[in-house]
Amino acid sequence: MALYRVLAVKHGADGRAFAAVDGGMSDNPRPALYGSTYHVRPVGRPATAPTARFDVVGRHCEAGDVLVRDAELPADLRPGDLLAVPAAGAYQVSMASAYNLVGRPAVAAVRDGRIRLLIRRETVEDFRAREVGR
């Protein structure tokens, strides 16, 4: 499962709504590369509002950086909300990259209500450590 935090919500004049999340084509390039489709659902707070259609988009400012099109999500979706993609794909982690210098996400295992970090999130310091110039 992939877990994303909503960074911004935008409602266009044409009636389209967008939810920008803290990931995108850097952590899951499959929708952009292959047209893979996913379902998304809100987690962490009760969904009491009626639903609306949103395109869930990544943070990379690329036309193809769309994770889920026409997702049925609460109309009152707001920054800070969490969205889960329950079946993110077997190759999501192995295909992840540092596109636009966005660090790769953490990987965790959850069992019996406990979480164990398997791979930590990549940080800006990780990028700096690779630099060899002055």
> Pairing state of beta strands 66-74 and 51-57?
antiparallel
Give the residue numbers marked as catalytic.
61
Phi, psi angles (nearest 5°) of residue 20? -90, 130
